[in-house]
Amino acid sequence: MKTILLILIFTLAAAAAFGQTTERRIEEIRKVYSETNGLIAEMQKAPELSSVFAVELVVNKFSAPYPAVGIYQTAAVFYYTYGDRERNPYPDRLLKVRTVTQRSARERAAEYFFDSTGHLVFVVISVPGGEVEATRLYFAAGRLIKLIEDGKETGVTTRPAVAASTQAKKEAGRLIGIFRSALASDD
């Protein structure tokens, strides 16, 4: 009986500690989100005074209709700043990527946020009129720690959560590759 009681107490304590750790990490991610958006807002007001830069990529800039799709355009804006200036004097640290894809029937917007070490920490996806209209994914050390769909928290080990996490990390990796290519020079 004592063994079962001790196991139960240990399990509850571990769950509480994990919950506190997760919530603390969520607060850190929210801070990254707020600070990044603040820096970007300042840059947009006074770009000549900012240390935040932007690269924009637009596919099908003039919205020529695609066969069997109709209107199609996708745009990505990469916001970046300085990283380790001792090793590299040029700005190359990705802060945020905002993507917007417009199709004839639907628009999808997504934002990908990265911490100071370059790791993906937060993704927010908006698909008005979609099956799931708003998705928020929180990451720590490359693992999904919280998923909220349309305001409801979903368990991170469920099949939909694993699929959403995998897709978000895959897309973030693709976007990082595009960003690195955009900064590459022929020096």
pLDDT at 5: 47
Mean pLDDT per 10-residue segment, the chain (187 residues): 52 47 91 95 93 94 81 94 85 96 90 96 94 94 94 92 96 96 78
pTM of the predicted model, to two decimals?
0.86
Q: What is the pLDDT of residue 64?
A: 85
Distance (Å, whole) CA 79 – CA 32? 14
In this prediction, residue 17 carries a pLDDT of 44
Structure confidence at residue 1 (pLDDT)? 56
pLDDT for position 168? 97
Query: How far from 164 is each of 88, 149, 156, CA to CA, in Å?
Result: 34, 10, 10
Give the pLDDT of residue 66: 79
pLDDT on residue 130: 86
Strands 72-81 and 53-59: antiparallel
